A and B are shown apart, each in its own frame.
Chain A
């Protein structure tokens, strides 16, 4: 154990996703792809999406893969993100992002205020480490760019 409140940041689930990220693979023939870069640390992430339209013309993320180099926080966050949004509609993915963004940037908001996060709540400790918020958000900003089919490099600045 690390002590000094660090266990709050590096929770077991975070460490697990950080060292063994899920969906860490490029997709063949993705419908959209985006590239993210954190100039503060040089970390990079790519997000690939397969998007399908279902009844009522709702767009669904039917497959997601990511690849990148980063710290435990950025890899864990991207890994958990892929699990959270796979199979979700684009609208729901945007709602999850809004809640996640709020959670990691506001340390004084109770987790009770968020309805869309599930397991992602283990990353709430990031809010106490301002220099690490960008790490947690890099994959997410890249996902949002991929959803908008924005091919410009996503920066965390």
Chain B
């Protein structure tokens, strides 16, 4: 049963939303960069360090057992959240970037060879592009970049043409951090599997905002970061199918990832520990578990519905700005809560500075998608991005401030 979504009640759970910036209430519209943290998550970290802190998977003492239980229980929460069948398919990483690199080094270098191909799209974050440039270059493989349509959705015809039997991996974002487009990843996974390729889904902008089920999508790999979904920075996840994880070599070497060690050789621990060398980020993993509890309590369907409402409202309000180019699809059923815009009269950084004076936090720049910016013929955009605690009132403030900025810069213009 879906619960009542009460944004004002949610806002009370986020202490930082009480802040004023330059004398104005904070309107935090930079969620695609990083989300704010609810009191439950912050308190969970304090509770861990005050009551349970110790190293995991090691001691026989009580604290170590309790810390291990909390840590592994957080892994179970992630597994349930993703609809995975086995918590051992959840590997902790520092974030989506490390998760993608793990796949590149442990799976890519072994399974992609000369003459093979890797497919990515023109909307990838640098983390899901530069990593595959390395693999393609070193392995003498081909990197194919699928172009976008006029409204920055994935060109599905080109995608279909790109996926042939040379392809070993399709690595693609579920939702674009830069233009907001949501890709039909289930369909893409099917196309990849038809030619025997694997699919990696960069879920950094989808897992925090909508229901994502790895079994339903039939994805081989899924990468995402905790800090964009109410959890602390420095914790992220790689999900992969069990048989693939079993077949992969370790990423990093060290303690905890080994089973038995001799002077000249070692054997590996079972999954997922095989990929988790060294003392892990225990507190933040538990923090991610707390964030998932919070999100689950609200309901991912409700969160998605709220963001669609906000985005529809913002897109409609932005229609008044003839001088602004707004990127991404207008159909919010295939768009995340991301609103990038550009004006030839006012540079994004000038907009960002002026909005900041009004307490409105947005991101300005290339959003780690330089090739995408180049394909749009611009160097940067201003980007507002929404989450569970944002309101229509904040969008009104954003629109007023942009109106104000455009007016100021057009009167200054000769």
Q: Indicate whether A and B interact.
A: yes
In the complex, A44 has a CB within 8 A of chain B: yes
Categorize the interface residue count of chain A: 20 to 34
Confirm or deny: A6 has a beta carbon within 8 angstroms of a beta carbon on chain B: yes
Q: Is the CB of B11 closer than 8 A to any CB of chain A?
A: no
Q: Give per-residue flags for B139-177: 1 if the beta carbon is below 8 A from chain A beta carbons, else 0.
A: 000000000000000000000000000000000000000
What 1/0 mask marks residues of chain A from 1 to 24 whose CB sits below 8 Å from any chain B CB? 111111001101001101110000
Cβ contacts under 8 Å, A15 to chain B:
409, 412
Taking CB atoms and an 8 Å cut-off, the chain B residues in 349-391 that contact chain A are 349-350, 353-354, 357-358, 364-366, 370, 373, 379-380
Contact indicator B353/A132 (Cβ below 8 Å): yes
Contact A135 B404, beta carbon cutoff 8 Å: no
Known: A41-B364, A41-B366, A43-B379. A132 touches B23 (CB 8 A): no
Is B22 an interface residue when CB atoms closer than 8 A count as contact? Answer: yes
In whole angstroms, how far apart are the Cα atoms of A73 and B354 in the complex? 12
Docked pose: A18 CA to B408 CA in angstroms: 13
What is the total number of residues of chain B having a CB less than 8 Å from a CB of chain A?
A: 25
Q: How far is the CA of A16 from the CA of B411 in the complex (A)?
A: 10
Q: Establish whether residues A72 and B350, one from each chain, have CB atoms under 8 Å apart when the complex forms.
A: yes
- In this complex, the member of A3, A41, A132, A135 whose beta carbon has the largest number of chain B beta carbons within 10 angstroms is A41
- Decide yes or no: A4 and B22 within 8 Å by CB, A41-B380, A131-B353, A135-B349 being known contacts: yes
Are A40 and B365 in contact, CB atoms less than 8 angstroms apart? yes
User: Which one of B350, B357, B412 lies within 8 Å of A4 (CB-CB)?
Assistant: B357
Please name the residue on chain A nearest to B364 by beta carbon: A41
Chain A residues with CB under 8 Å of B357's CB are 2-6
Smallest CB gap from A42: residue in B = B379
In the complex, what's the smallest C-beta–C-beta distance from A105 to chain B, in angstroms?
A: 17
Q: Chain B residues near A9 (CB, 8 Å)?
A: 353
A73 touches B409 (CB 8 A): no
Chain A binding surface, main DSSP class:
mixed
Q: Is the C-beta of A87 less than 8 angstroms from some C-beta in chain B?
A: no
Residue of A nearest to B411 (CB): A15
**A2 to B350 alpha-carbon distance, docked (Å):** 12
Interchain CA distance A18-B412 in the complex, whole Å:
9
Which residue of A2, A5, A129 has the most chain B CB atoms within 10 A of its CB atom? A2
**Of B349, B379, B409, B414, which is in contact with the most chain A CB atoms at under 10 Å from its CB?**
B349
Does A69 sit at the interface, judged by CB under 8 A? yes
Taken together as a complex, chains A and B put the C-alpha atoms of A20 and B22 apart, in Å, by: 30
Contact (Cβ within 8 A) A132 B408: no
CB distance from B323 to the nearest CB of A (A): 14
Inter-chain CA distance A18–B380, complex, in Å, is 17
State whether A69 and B412 are in contact (beta carbons under 8 Å apart), knowing that A4-B22, A131-B353 are contacts in the complex: no
Residues of B within 8 A of A19 (CB): 409, 412-414
Given contacts A2-B404, A44-B379, contact A129 B353 (CB under 8 A): yes
- Does B193 touch A at the CB level, under 8 Å? no
The chain A residue sitting closest to B22, CB to CB, is A4
**Are A43 and B350 within 8 A (Cβ)?**
no
Q: Does B414 contact A72, Cβ atoms closer than 8 Å?
A: no
- Asked if residues A72 and B370 are in contact (CB atoms below 8 Å), the reply is no
Q: Which residues of B contact A (CB under 8 A)?
A: 22-23, 346-350, 353-354, 357-358, 364-366, 370, 373, 379-380, 404-405, 408-409, 412-414
Binding site for B on A (CB under 8 A): 1-6, 9-10, 12, 15-16, 18-20, 40-44, 69-74, 129, 131-132, 135
Q: 7 pairs across A/B with beta carbons < 8 Å?
A: A2-B354, A2-B408, A3-B357, A4-B358, A10-B408, A16-B414, A41-B348
Closest 4 CB pairs of A and B: A71-B347, A15-B412, A42-B379, A71-B349
Apart from A6-B357, A19-B413, A71-B347, list 4 A-B contacts with CB within 8 A: A2-B405, A19-B409, A20-B414, A43-B380
